[in-house]
Every structure is written in structure tokens, then in C-alpha cells.
Amino acid sequence: MTKRYMILVLAGMLLATTTGCGSKVVESAEKVTASVSTSVTKNEEKEAISVASSEAKKLDEASIKDVITGLTDRKVKQDAKDVSFLSGILFDGDIVKEVTVDDSAVDVTKEGTYVVTYRITVDPEKLGAYEKTSFRGKVDSTIEVKRQVFILSKEEAVKYADAGEAVYDTGMQLVPRFDGTAVKLPEREIPKSCQEKGTDPIDAASGKPMEKAPKKEVTPTKQAEKKEASREEKKAEERTTKTASSESKASSNVTTSSAKKSGKGHYETCTVTDRAAWTETVVDKEGYNERVAAGTKTVVDQPEWDENIPYYTYMCGCGAEFTSSAALTAHYEAYDREPPHDTDAVITRYNTVHHPAVTHEEPEYKDIWHPAVTHTVNHPAQTHTEKVWVEE
């Protein structure tokens, strides 16, 4: 503002000094003033835009924490099929335009730790309106978020399942515990922005609004039915006891006005059962699986095989064989090379050498299930005593 004021003052002085020079000079001065004013206004707008741009926040993972959930590390069983790394991710469809994942680096057939890259496309203007701030970036800016994927062997997957952790198998089913019981599926968290606005989040796996789970009709098992029947019997017994107690009290109240006044009767003490005796099973130690050594096993690195090694013999026409040509020549000369000692042949024969298999020993393990350690507590009936008037 100070610069603008000084420039306008200088322009005014220029106008004042040129007034006497004619109307053309005045018009020129006015044009100079207007030009200077326009230039100053444009500079101020550029400075304002520059300041606003410097105050805008950068789009990063922290800026979208309230509009998307489920971007977590995952554990997957080795050789699992149809695994979706978008499963469990929910986002605000008004602000987040698209969520994709690059899982090309993951090899589910090999154990190890891998990295997947999520790409979240957002509208900075709408995100800024929700956060009551502004973000740098063009419309539909994309943010990259990296997470780890752990490919676990069957044994490791069961260990994590026994600890209550979610390990995904084929079709995004959870690996059960060693004893066959199911692991609880992690609850999906609705983004904070959707909670505040009361809107349904979008499921990244399906691209549709999150389906609300229908209420299931629970069919009681036989054991549950027995427990329910036992509870009903106890309640009926308690009601009967209380009714008897109430009738005794009513009888005593009725007889008090007549028999008690006449002195024909007396008080007796009776026991009222508030709760029948019951048995409780207390778990001292939860059941667990233990892996123990079970000896060794022989692993064949190379099977046994036979090797044929060639060697040569020198045969005389008479059928005699010799291991060298010198020995054959001496044989010829001993018979003066008379037939049939006048011909020879070189024959290739083989010696067979047997090679045993190449092996090594590896340790073997087995799983031992230790059942839960429990004890039984017998709780006595809960009672109280009451005095009842008995008519004679």
C-alpha cells in the first residue's frame, strides 16, 4: 500500500507540473497515472496469489486420514488364491474419487515381506472445504501410500491365528486357529467424514456403497437350548418359592386379625430359596498348541545310480583275451602265428560301478494340543429365613 501511495503521489506531481503545457499534456499525464495504478493493482494480486499458494498445505497421507480407512499391513497365507488388497478399505465418495492398488511385487507362492502401493485420487478443493483449509495441487490429485504384505507358511499362519490375528487365505477367508475355531474378522471403520455427514462410505473392493449386514436369525444349538431350559426351570422354581413365601405372608396377615388376636397360633421360621444351587466351570489356563521335535527324516538329494566305465581287451583268433597289445603279440609268437593264432580284434567291455544315494537328515516336528485346564466350583443355594405365623 505504501508503494502504491508513493507512485500515485509522484504521478500527481507530474500532472501538476504539466498542466500549463496544454490539454494534450494533461491527457498524457492521466494515462500515465491510470497505467501506474493498473500495474500496482496487478502486482498486488500476484503477491496475494503467491501468499495464498505458500499457505496451502501439501497433499499427503496425513491429510486423508479422516476420509479413508483400512489402509493397513496384511498377513496372507502362502499359495492363497483370489486375494484382494482392496478388501476392507472404505472411503468418502464425495472427496475420494478412486482407490487403486499395485500389488505386482507380491508373490503369494513364496514366503517373505512385500510392499504394495495404494493410489488415492482426491479432489483437493472438496478435501480443503471439509478440513477448513486449502491444499496445493490440481483437481483429482493422487496420493501414494505404501503398506507391507507378509506371506506366511501354513505353520506360521496358524501361529498368528492362535494369537487372534487375521491371516487371509483363499477368497479372503480367515485362517482358523489350530483347534478349528474361527478368528474374528476385523471390524471395518467408517471414515470420520462419513460419520459426521451421515453418508454411506464406498467399499473400495466393489466400488459401491458399503452394504449393511442384515440381521441374522440365530438358531440355538442343542447345548444352548439345554442351558436356556435349565435357566427357565430355575426361574420357575424361584417364582414358585417366592409365591409360596408371598402366600405364607398373606396367610399370616389374614390370620393376624383373628387368630393372632385370639392367641390361637404361633410363629415358625422357614427357609426361602432366592437362587438354587449351581455348578460353574472355571478356566485356569486356556488350551494351546505346542510344536515339539519328533526325530529326524532322511531327505534324498540325489538318487542312487549305476555308472558303466568302458575298458578295452585284445582278442586272438583262438578266443583268448589280453589286456594289452604286447601280451597279444607274445601270444602270437608263441604259436608262430599259425591259424587260428593269426587274427585279432579289439573289443570294448564295461565295468559297472554302483553309486549310493546322496542324502541328509532334517529334523521333524509335530503339534501337540494341550486342552484347557479347568476346575468346577459348586455354588450352594442362596437362601434367607422368614418368620411365618401358623394358625393352631
Mean pLDDT score across all residues of the chain: 79
For 70, 168, 366, 369, 374, the CA distances from 289, given in Å and listed in that order, are: 31, 20, 10, 5, 17
Neighbours of 26 (CB within 10 A): 14
The percent of residues above 90 in pLDDT, for the chain, comes to: 44
Q: For 111-157, write each residue's pLDDT tens digit.
A: 999 999 999 999 988 988 998 888 766 556 899 999 999 999 999 99
Q: For 83-108, write each residue's pLDDT tens digit.
A: 999 999 999 999 999 999 999 999 99
**What pLDDT sits at residue 268?**
87
More confident call, 375 vs 252: 375
- For residues 71-89, give the mean pLDDT: 95
**What pLDDT sits at residue 145?**
95
The DSSP string of 353-378 is EEEPPEEEEEEEEEEEEEPPEEEEEE
Cell of 64: 486423508
**What pLDDT sits at residue 218?**
44
**What pLDDT sits at residue 371?**
93
Looking at the predicted structure, is the pLDDT value of residue 52 above 70?
Answer: no
Say if residues 274 and 355 touch (Cβ distance below 8 Å): no
Q: For 240-295, write each residue's pLDDT tens digit.
A: 655 555 555 544 444 444 444 456 788 888 888 888 998 999 999 998 999 999 89
Q: For 145-188, write each residue's pLDDT tens digit.
A: 999 999 999 999 999 999 999 999 999 999 999 988 999 888 88
More confident call, 174 vs 224: 174
Looking at the predicted structure, is the pLDDT value of residue 301 above 90?
Answer: yes
> Phi first, then psi: what are they for 345, rounded to 5°?
-150, 150
**What pLDDT sits at residue 389?**
83
CA 139, CA 59: separation in Å to the nearest integer? 12
Domain at 61-209, CATH class: mainly beta
Alpha-carbon dihedral angle through residues 74, 78, 82, 87, given to the nearest 10 degrees: -10
The DSSP string of 262-302 is HT-EEEEEEEEEEE--EEEEEEEE--EEEEEEEEEEEEEEE
Looking at the predicted structure, is the pLDDT value of residue 1 above 50?
Answer: no
Looking at the predicted structure, is the pLDDT value of residue 22 above 70?
Answer: no
Of all helices (H) and strands (E), which one includes residue 109? none
**What pLDDT sits at residue 325?**
86
Question: Rounded to a whole number, what is the distance in angstroms from the first to the last CA of the chain?
Answer: 112
